[in-house]
Amino acid sequence: MRDLLMIPGPVEFEPEVLQALALPTLGHTDPAFIAIFGRALKRLREVCLAPSAQPFVVSGSGTLAMELAVANLVEPGDAALVVNTGYFSDRMVKILERHGAKVTQVRAAPGDVPSSDEVETALAAGGFKLMTLTHVDTSTGVLAPVEGLVRAARKHGVLSVVDGVCATAGEAFHQDAWGADVYLTASQKAVGVPPGLALLTVGPLALEAWRKRKAPVASVYADWAEWLPIMEAYEAGKPAYFATPPVNLVYALDVSLGQILAEGMEARFARHRRVALAFRAAWKGLGLRLLPTSDAVASHLLSALYYPDGVDASFVGQVKAQGVVVAGGLHPDLKSRYFRVGHMNRTGPADLLATVGAVERALLAAGHRVEPGAGLAAAESALVAR
């Protein structure tokens, strides 16, 4: 029997999206494929609420999306500010430094975000070309206060690069209205497509900064100069080639983005919030504690939860024995002390209750004292209260 996949990516996908992967592969310059690719690009722009941005769809994972942003904006010696909320912000530091940036970090303890005063003070110190932040840090489930941070960067004339790999199409984000310069993401989480696509929406100020750069981009595959004409051609309905696109993944992307837009962005953000609040109620009912230090900094797309006393990392296997796959810890400082449950893309009441039930049974099997049904009852109450 197939287990329910409730890790923070990849996630459960819609059958229509998976079916698109099995369609006959068209040539990448076939007019029918050009039309699909062009529509997917337009849809990506709409999903990111970024009418003024240039979308990029490139074969690769989220880490390539990070590199596609950094490699094109950073020149050796440029100063970059990293709002560091965990494991994936650390990865961003590594990529920035590899491309020659001088990095300053504003860090928070695991589970927390730096205060806006700290970020504001750092920005005011001046000299930064760009600031990066992780919308949702998947290692800790921390949600950054993105709107305030990108608005602050814009005020100080600093480009903002937002890693939305674990957030896009699930957490509220209004790229143009908030003034975020680059939103980068990947296919396998709330975007609803199996792993393999790096996605970017690049705003006009970031494109202008890239056009003004003097040093060549230190990678051919990551160079916007190679990809921009391709994306423009596909959107204009014309054939173009730089590197072979992942044809079937692009079909799947087009289907998923179409479904996301049909649900509506605000409705989709609200559904993820509603499901997250029901999960939080369930965890409370089971006596489990969230790793994020407050609800205000807790993501709506995953729950990172401390193991209760007497329960260790073997718990993830015990939940799997109950038919649901959850993930272990990832943040190096706390790895063995917590586990993570993803709740994004198509998670609704059915998967929510299946997951809470599996966690509850695994807790009981591990000898944890909990009233059978306590988590389920709390989740049910939260669901019907709204």
Residues that bind ligand PMP (CB under 6 A): 9, 61-63, 88, 134, 138, 163, 165-166, 186
| Residue 274 CB contacts under 8 Å (≥ 6 apart), including other chains | 383, 386
Q: What's the closest the beta carbon of residue 208 comes to ligand PMP, in angstroms? A: 25
What are the distances in angstroms from CA 189 to CA 106, 196, 310?
27, 11, 32
Q: Is the CB of 59 or the CB of 61 nearer to ligand PMP? A: 61
Q: What's the closest the beta carbon of residue 247 comes to ligand PMP, in angstroms? A: 20
Q: What's the closest the beta carbon of residue 380 comes to ligand PMP, in angstroms? A: 30
User: Which residue's beta carbon is nearest to the bound ligand PMP?
Assistant: 62
Q: Is the CB of 340 or the CB of 361 nearer to ligand PMP? A: 340
Q: E strands, the chain, where?
A: 4-5, 54-59, 79-84, 102-107, 128-134, 136-137, 142-143, 159-163, 182-186, 197-202, 302-306, 324-325, 327-328, 338-342
Q: What's the closest the beta carbon of residue 381 comes to ligand PMP, in angstroms? A: 31
Length in residues, the chain = 386
Q: What's the closest the beta carbon of residue 187 comes to ligand PMP, in angstroms? A: 8
**Orientation angle between helical segments 87-98 and 62-73, nearest 10 degrees:** 40
Q: Is the CB of 134 or the CB of 345 nearer to ligand PMP? A: 134
Q: Which residue type, as a one-letter code, is found at position 77?
A: G
In a 13 Å sphere around the CA of 299, the CA atoms on its Cβ side amount to 34
**Orientation angle between helical segments 265-285 and 374-384, nearest 10 degrees:** 150
Q: Is the CB of 62 or the CB of 375 nearer to ligand PMP? A: 62
Q: Is the CB of 256 or the CB of 318 nearer to ligand PMP? A: 256
Q: What are phi and psi of 175, to 5 degrees?
A: -55, -50
Q: What's the closest the beta carbon of residue 186 comes to ligand PMP, in angstroms? A: 4
Token pair listed for 254? 């087009």
Token pair listed for 80? 């970059």
Q: Is the CB of 165 or the CB of 253 nearer to ligand PMP? A: 165
